[in-house]
Amino acid sequence: MKKIIYNWSDFIGDTVNLANKLKNYKGLTFKDVYGISRGGLIPAVIISHLLDIPFVRYENKINSKTLIIDDISDSGKTLKKLLKKHKTGMTATLWIMKETKYIPDIHIKIKNKDEWIIFPWEMSAKDYKNL
């Protein structure tokens, strides 16, 4: 499996790009943002600052004006399960896998099935040395 080292610089650039797309998305406004643990937390906090909207800490606070963020829609199961439970919300991710069962409303990048993304918050000391 091919590893993609997703560094902080690319992550920040893509997160800003995602926030800009969200600002102009079909005239929608969001009341707050929720980040799916664990991978969605860091981009959700940054997007909450960039869009100047509150960060929702608890899943039971999700409503129709909540923006749901995750780092990736790989299989799509996490996002599908969350939306089935709440029956509402808009979704955005930094990445999707081509074969995902759930395509979020907005995403930035696409990965192949044979690729594994190592997000900056997941890197080991060995990963950093190999940059």
pLDDT of residue 30: 84
pLDDT of residue 1: 87
pLDDT of residue 74: 94
pLDDT of residue 127: 65
CB 94 within 8 A of CB 109: yes
In the chain (131 residues long), the average pLDDT of successive 10-residue segments reads: 92 96 81 93 96 92 92 94 84 96 95 94 73 61
pLDDT of residue 102: 94
Domain that residue 46 falls in: 2-122
Residue 128 belongs to some domain of the structure: no
φ, ψ (nearest 5 deg) of residue 97: -90, 140
State both tokens at 16: 């800003």
Residue 109 belongs to some domain of the structure: yes
pLDDT of residue 29: 80
pLDDT of residue 130: 66
Task: Give residue for tokens 């690729």.
Answer: 115
Residue 72 belongs to some domain of the structure: yes
Residue 57 belongs to some domain of the structure: yes
The number of folded domains in the chain is: 1
Residue 129 belongs to some domain of the structure: no
Residue 71 belongs to some domain of the structure: yes
Q: Which CATH number fits the domain that encloses residue 88?
A: 3.40.50.2020
CB 95 within 8 A of CB 118: no
Residue 108 belongs to some domain of the structure: yes
